[in-house]
């Protein structure tokens, strides 16, 4: 099997458990990435821990625990648990109470204190199949403050009742949540030809099922993979790999699908809760 094929077709698996990047007595931080997106998982270990982030187009997920304070240059707000927040470009200060946890998703990071991605080695080479996350979609409503969306107030689309979907200028996310194991008769194997999919597990245990398509060259064929990961963790699947994820065991499951650029197909189906806040670039994929 060629080294190029192995790199281009290799999924990335990162567990946000165990060794973390910690600055002094600050919060524990884990970072992983795809080609077009970066995911940071943050856990506070003492009261009022602040994290300074200078990045573009954040999406912040707050699924558990106490409210989190988010401060931009313009204002400070308190975001409750089970919310999705979209912040404007520029510096963001996140303050978590002891025991607080959150995920920060963005398409780029400029803060030098950010930990290096745990899977950075996987992304040294550029994959020409993956479309760019730029130009960014333009935000056409609001005053540049942080948008806060309460997940429990969002209605899932009738066509896809397990999912609640949101976007920023450069990303889309799907919030998939259910109790107990996923029905094995109702899985959704699929693939993408021009972008990656990140699967960010925030609660529960999951099996990621993966299948590589056959080519004429049988020496490139690979066996199916069934990789079990707990939470919190991130799996990134490359283009063309067939995949579906199955929550297992009698427990609560919360999985966030991550895409960059935004998913035009979902937006055109009116599935994305805040799509009306953005103008689509003329050449959007």
Interval 98-146: pLDDT, tens: 888 999 999 988 887 778 899 999 998 889 999 999 899 988 877 778 9
pLDDT score at 4: 57
Please state which of the ranges 3-12, 113-122, 220-229 shows the lowest mean pLDDT.
3-12
Task: Tell me if 138 sits within 8 A of 232, measured CB to CB.
Answer: no
CATH 2.60.120.10 in the chain is located at 3-12+27-134, 147-278
The continuous run of DSSP H or E covering 7 comes out as helix 3-9
Contact 171, 58 (CB under 8 A): no
Cα radius of gyration (the chain): 18
Give me the CATH topology for the region 147-278: Jelly Rolls (2.60.120)
**pTM of the complete model:** 0.94
Distance, in Å, from the CA atom of 197 to the CA atom of 189, rounded to the nearest integer, reads 13
**What CATH number does the domain located at 3-12+27-134 have?**
2.60.120.10
Indicate whether 227 pLDDT > 70. Answer: yes
pLDDT(1) > 60: no
**pLDDT number for residue 81:** 92
Half-sphere exposure at residue 162, Cβ-oriented, CA atoms within 13 angstroms: 15
DSSP 8-state secondary structure symbol assigned to residue 273: T
């Amino acid at each position: 099997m060629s080294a190029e094929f192995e790199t281009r077709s290799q999924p990335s698996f990162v567990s946000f458990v165990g060794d973390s990047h910690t600055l002094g007595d600050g919060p524990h931080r884990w970072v992983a990435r795809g080609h077009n997106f970066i995911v940071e998982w943050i856990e506070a270990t003492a009261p009022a821990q602040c994290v300074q982030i200078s990045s573009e187009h954040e999406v912040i997920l707050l699924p558990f625990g106490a409210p989190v304070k988010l401060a931009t240059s313009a204002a400070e707000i308190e975001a409750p648990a089970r919310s999705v927040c979209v912040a404007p470009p520029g510096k963001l200060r996140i303050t978590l109470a002891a025991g607080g946890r959150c995920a920060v998703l963005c398409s780029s990071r400029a803060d030098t204190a950010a930990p290096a991605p745990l899977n950075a080695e996987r992304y040294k080479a550029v994959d020409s199949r993956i479309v760019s996350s730029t130009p960014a979609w333009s935000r056409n409503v609001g005053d540049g403050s942080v948008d806060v969306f309460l997940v429990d107030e969002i209605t899932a689309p009738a066509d896809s009742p397990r999912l609640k979907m949101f976007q920023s200028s450069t990303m889309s996310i799907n919030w998939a949540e259910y109790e107990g194991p996923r029905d094995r008769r109702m899985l959704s194997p699929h693939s993408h030809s021009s972008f990656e999919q990140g699967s960010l597990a925030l609660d529960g245990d999951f099996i990621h099922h993966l299948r590589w398509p056959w080519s004429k060259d049988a020496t490139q064929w690979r066996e199916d993979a069934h990789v079990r990961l707990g939470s919190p963790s991130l799996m990134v699947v490359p283009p063309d790999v067939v995949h579906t994820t199955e929550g297992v065991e009698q427990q609560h499951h919360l999985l966030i699908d991550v895409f960059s650029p935004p998913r035009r197909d979902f937006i055109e189906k009116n599935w994305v809760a805040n799509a009306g806040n953005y103008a689509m670039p003329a050449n959007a994929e």
